[in-house]
Amino acid sequence: MSKKICIVTTSASTLKSFFIPMARFFATNADWEICLMSDDDAEIRQMLPDGVRFIPVPMKRGISLGGFKATAQMRKIFKREKFDLVQYSTPNAALYASIAAKRAKVPVRNYHLMGLRYLGGVGLGRWMLKTLEKISCKNSTHIECVSPSNLEMSIQEKIFDKDKATVVWNGSSCGVDLQRFAIEKREEWREEQRTKYGFQNTDFVFGFVGRITKDKGINELILAFDNVKKEMPCKLVLIGRIDTNHGLSQEVLKKIEGDDVLHIPQTSEIEKYYPMLDALVLPSYREGFGNVVIEAEAMGVPVLVSNIPGPTDAMVDGKTGFVFECKNVQALQQAMQKLMQADIQNLSHQATEFVQTHFDEQTILKHILQRKQQLLGLEKTEQVDN
């Protein structure tokens, strides 16, 4: 029986990063009509797999009056299209789509919860964001968290009832494409990128991948690195754009643009850059999961992550890297020094093996498909091999 599925995010960049592979897999392996929805984007129209449509709805990040218009437009579309299941991710899209889908009487309203935005707020702003999150969850018939620790924390914070939510397989949005992040290419790409940027093979290189902003722990990372390199020679690479509202100190900004830190604004071939690192550092204050962690591990790069929900589910402390206390410069410094003295080759091997057995994209997509079939009341399929 043919079913109609709609996947909604606020930004098209999120669709491109996480949900195009899912849409392609559904279109190939199920007799379903698949629709993607987000703010408009010219590039995504060129990326659509066969059998997948795109419907643009104007949406912006942050709280705005435009949300009322987006909700009304979605409700009209949902009523017209008569979707059997609407899945939504990211805070604004989840709020608008959950309200619109409920009013349009969509039977399965599936919240793919990638993290809790309110954790970055304080005072009244935090309370408001938390209230909006509760509304999105209340309007949803089912909730899928991207990591077990986020599921547990959400239940403790009373964001939703535990009988409403689950984690599909081992978590993440769609795992890691092991054809793209191919460990077989590690040595070739490592030599290529180290030569390109002037690193010696003997240099110990720490790296960060993501938005350059306070909430990602960049202040702590720069200060910790500054202390470590005085005692143990090492390098630091930051890959990502500096946010407009970055919240970084002037001291840190000056060091980022200095001689000791290599800043690479952005790349569409991040898989080639991980191998030049000896360790990935993710000192974030909050994350839904931390896909950069499993991407780095897939390429044999050990990781250092702050002790927050999400990233700690993407690694194994002591086997694929180490965990340190969030917002603590000294703790991060000690973790960096510990890693430099550890058996990197062993950590590297275990990191790759962990991702291959826990976060392979093709395996998790099979689990996600099975989950959707169950939500739609279709005949139960055979269990997926883990």
The 10s digit of each residue's pLDDT in 228-241 is 999 999 999 999 99
Residues 6+ positions from 104 with CB-CB distance below 8 Å: 74, 75, 78, 79
Residue range 175-186: average pLDDT? 98
Q: What is the pTM of this model?
A: 0.95
Pairing of strands 52-56, 85-88: unpaired
Query: Taking 80 as the threshold, does the pLDDT of residue 288 lie above it?
Result: yes
pLDDT for position 340? 98
List pLDDT tens digits, range 360-378: 999 999 999 999 999 999 9
pLDDT for position 20? 96
The Cα–Cα gap between 371 and 265 comes to 38
Residue % of the chain over a pLDDT of 90: 91
Residue range 9-30: average pLDDT? 95
pLDDT band of residue 338 (cuts 50, 70, 90) is very high
pLDDT band of residue 223 (cuts 50, 70, 90) is very high
Structural domains of the chain sorted by starting position, each given as residue range(s) with its CATH number in brackets: 3-175+360-375 (3.40.50.2000), 183-358 (3.40.50.2000)
pLDDT for position 381? 52
Q: For residue 205, with 0-12 CB atoms within 10 Å meaning exposed, 13-18 middle and 19 or more buried, which class applies? A: buried
pLDDT band of residue 318 (cuts 50, 70, 90) is very high
Mapping DSSP to helix (H, G, I), strand (E, B) and coil, where does residue 179 land? coil
pLDDT for position 62? 74
Residue range 79-106: average pLDDT? 97
pLDDT for position 2? 87
Report, in angstroms and rounded to the nearest whole number, the Rg of the chain calculated over CA atoms: 21
pLDDT for position 244? 87
DSSP 163: G
pLDDT for position 383? 63
Residue % of the chain over a pLDDT of 70: 98
Average pLDDT, the chain: 95
pLDDT for position 65? 78
Residue range 304-328: average pLDDT? 98
List pLDDT tens digits, range 249-269: 999 999 998 888 999 998 999
